[in-house]
Amino acid sequence: MALTLVPPGAPALHTLPLGGRLGRVDTGVVIFLTDYGIDPLDLARAVEERGFESLFLTEHTHIPTSRESPWPGGGELPERYAHTYDPFVAIGAMAAVTERIVLGTAVSLVNQHHAINLAKQVASVDRIAGGRFELGVGPGWNKEEMAHHGVDPRTRTARMLETVEAMTAIWTQDEAEYHGKYVDFDPIWSWPKPTRVPPILIGGGGPTVLDRVLSHGHGWVPLRVPVSGLAEFTERVDELQRRAADAGRGHIPVSMYGAARNAEAMRSYREAGVDRVLFELTDQKGPGARDAVLRELDELRALSGDA
């Protein structure tokens, strides 16, 4: 089941999943797509053949060899962070070998791109995918990585929101301009335009993330909420939907990144108001990587029946 949303200022409609307490939860997968793992096209075909709703990719442009920023997962930073494909290039290729699945980023570190360039990349990918692209965005956590792109970590959230605003202007206006504190350009012509304003999914779970979802997003991507934390999480989902209704908006879809893998969790996510779960695929390396990922997809597809 899908909900039609009209983003502020957008000339066209787009659809996002609508499930949770209102219906069946969609199931997708997310992966750190690496040069040592499964072939991107094999993965895309396998995800679609097994009936998943979506496939999302992560993004890191690079990992600095000297880093003080702690990895949010704790411990040593996994190898996969430095080996990921460019998600937009990979998604463009994946779109050419699939017809149905939603393809997207979870999340793109948009501050590490110039807004004009990224707007064209996103529009191009969306057109190649026939309107199946969704742009998950986040400000990032690796301060050294940001610094290499000339981004002050203290301004990352404000810069991210300006980038979203600037791209939306490019997507929706024949002659676009934007004048912000961090993103600034005079009137430009830039085509192609996307098939519609790509859904912007705001990633994160901090205390102010709902403000950003409501001001700049069409959906929310919380990260790895354990079943033990679902009571508090449910309250946040309720707050999000209540504030959306007060603002005259419809239901805002929630996509859970890194969903737990058991039937109880799936039922709990639905009851909490989650519309889509994204299972994070295990990092696989070596000659058996492809077969291991395919087996994992089979297992996850069987589990998704509990949604």
pLDDT at 307: 61
Q: Rounded to an integer, what distance in angstroms lies between the CA atom of residue 228 and that of residue 197? A: 36
Rg (CA), the chain: 18
Reply yes or no on whether the pLDDT at 4 is more than 70: no
Whether 45 and 297 have beta carbons less than 8 Å apart is answered as no
**In CATH terms, is domain 2-306 a member of 3.20.20.30?**
yes
- Tell me the C-alpha to C-alpha distance, in Å, between residue 296 and each of 49, 61, 233, 282: 14, 27, 27, 8
pLDDT tens per residue, range 37-94: 999 999 999 999 999 999 999 999 999 999 999 999 999 999 999 999 999 999 999 9
Whether 272 and 234 have beta carbons less than 8 Å apart is answered as yes
pLDDT at 8: 42
* Portion of the chain with pLDDT greater than 90, in percent: 90
Average of per-residue pLDDT values in the chain: 93
Reply yes or no on whether the pLDDT at 227 is more than 90: no
Domain-by-domain residue ranges, the chain? 2-306
Task: Classify each residue of 147-165 as buried b or exposed e, where b means 16 or more C-beta atoms within 10 Å of its C-beta.
Answer: eeeebebeebbebbbbbbb
- Tell me the C-alpha to C-alpha distance, in Å, between residue 65 and each of 36, 81, 232: 20, 12, 37
Tokens 């990918």 identify what position?
125
Q: Rounded to an integer, what distance in angstroms lies between the CA atom of residue 113 and that of residue 230? A: 34
Reply yes or no on whether the pLDDT at 14 is more than 50: no
Task: Classify each residue of 268-303 as buried b or exposed e, where b means 16 or more C-beta atoms within 10 Å of its C-beta.
Answer: bbbebbbbbbbbbbebbeeeebbebbbebbeebbeb
Whether 200 and 219 have beta carbons less than 8 Å apart is answered as yes
pLDDT at 306: 60
pLDDT at 162: 99
Reply yes or no on whether the pLDDT at 234 is more than 80: yes
SS3 76: coil
Whether 128 and 93 have beta carbons less than 8 Å apart is answered as no
Helix and strand numbers, DSSP H then E, in the chain: 9, 12
User: Residue by residue, what is the 3-state secondary structure of 131-164?
Assistant: CCEEEEECCCCCHHHHHHCCCCHHHHHHHHHHHH
